[in-house]
Amino acid sequence: MGLDLIDIGSNLTHESFTADRDAVMARALQAGVRRQVITGADLASSHQAAALAAQHPARLWSTAGVHPHHAQTFAGSQRAELIELLRLHQVVAVGECGLDYFRNLSPPDAQRQAFIAQLEIAVEIRKPVFLHQRDAHGDFAAILRDFAGRLHGGVAHCFTGGEAELEAYLALGLFIGITGWACDERRGLDLRNSVPKIPLERLLIETDAPYLLPRNMNPKPKSRRNEPSYLPHIAATVARLRGEALETIGAATTRNAVALFGLTDL
């Protein structure tokens, strides 16, 4: 039967995939990555992700939202446009949204306002949230607690934190998305220690391609570009860290992704 994995966070509309996107998708399928959720980071890329997903039903879905880097561009007048996108069948989550105080490409106030606005939209349209947090855990968790009991699920995308952050996000009812960060023994120590403590029923896997190429791939790819076809390597690393079989991780993360995002079965 082989693997049946779901990459819950790939950036297939990124310009690095323009020349060979079909080949990238074919390699993913061959590797056992049967389905992908394409990330929207602003309104333009959310439209592109939705259009790409519409071309590949039962294989691709997408998210629609405004990343904290772009928060200052999110005006109230764009709310209706975002809601219209989110009502499309193939658009399964609100985001990527959240807070990023590491780069602060948008002022923190603008980030918080855009984050809250998108959480309100998620409550209104009854879809889960695809969440980003970097160096902003306190404010991020506090805002989410204000929405406790009203959100329809969510995932801490590209989780890189330690046990305290993990416990906070589990208490908020979130799924935990693990990327190739777990494959980096230099900077991923806190995460690698946290991975075994994630309940299997809350675990998701993602590449965040073309970013975060797994560092421990052997042989190393000629290109530094990450691809969805490398998701089995991440799944195998997660399985090894947890002392579980790859098949167990594959089955659980696929089941969890279908449940969270409401993906139709093949």
Query: C-alpha distances in angstroms, 31 versus 5, 85, 163, 213, 245?
Result: 9, 30, 32, 16, 17
In this predicted structure, what is the pLDDT of residue 77?
81
In this model, does residue 246 exceed pLDDT 60?
A: yes
> Residues of the chain with pLDDT > 70: what percent?
99
The 10s digit of each residue's pLDDT in 52-89 is: 999 999 999 999 999 999 999 898 789 999 999 999 99
Residue 1 — very low, low, confident or very high, per pLDDT cuts 50/70/90?
low
> What is this structure's pTM?
0.96
Residues 6+ apart with CB under 8 A from 19: none
The 10s digit of each residue's pLDDT in 83-115 is: 999 999 999 999 999 999 998 889 999 999 999
Residue 266 — very low, low, confident or very high, per pLDDT cuts 50/70/90?
very low
In this predicted structure, what is the pLDDT of residue 175?
98
In this predicted structure, what is the pLDDT of residue 76?
79
Distance CA(139)–CA(235), nearest Å, equals 31
Residue 156 — very low, low, confident or very high, per pLDDT cuts 50/70/90?
very high
Q: What SS3 string covers the chain?
A: CCCCEEEEEECCCCHHHCCCHHHHHHHHHHCCEEEEEECCCCHHHHHHHHHHHHHCCCCEEEEECCCHHHHHHCCHHHHHHHHHHHCCCCEEEEEEEEEECCCCCCCHHHHHHHHHHHHHHHHHHCCCEEEEEECCHHHHHHHHHHCCCCCCCEEECCCCCCHHHHHHHHHCCCEEEECHHHHCCCCCHHHHHHHHHCCHHHEEECCCCCCCCCCCCCCCCCCCCCCHHHHHHHHHHHHHHHCCCHHHHHHHHHHHHHHHHCCCCC
When pLDDT is averaged across residues 42-46 and rounded to a whole number, the result is 96
First-to-last alpha carbon distance for the chain, in angstroms, is 14
What is the distance, to the nearest Å, from the Cα of residue 214 to the centroid of all Cα atoms in its chain?
16
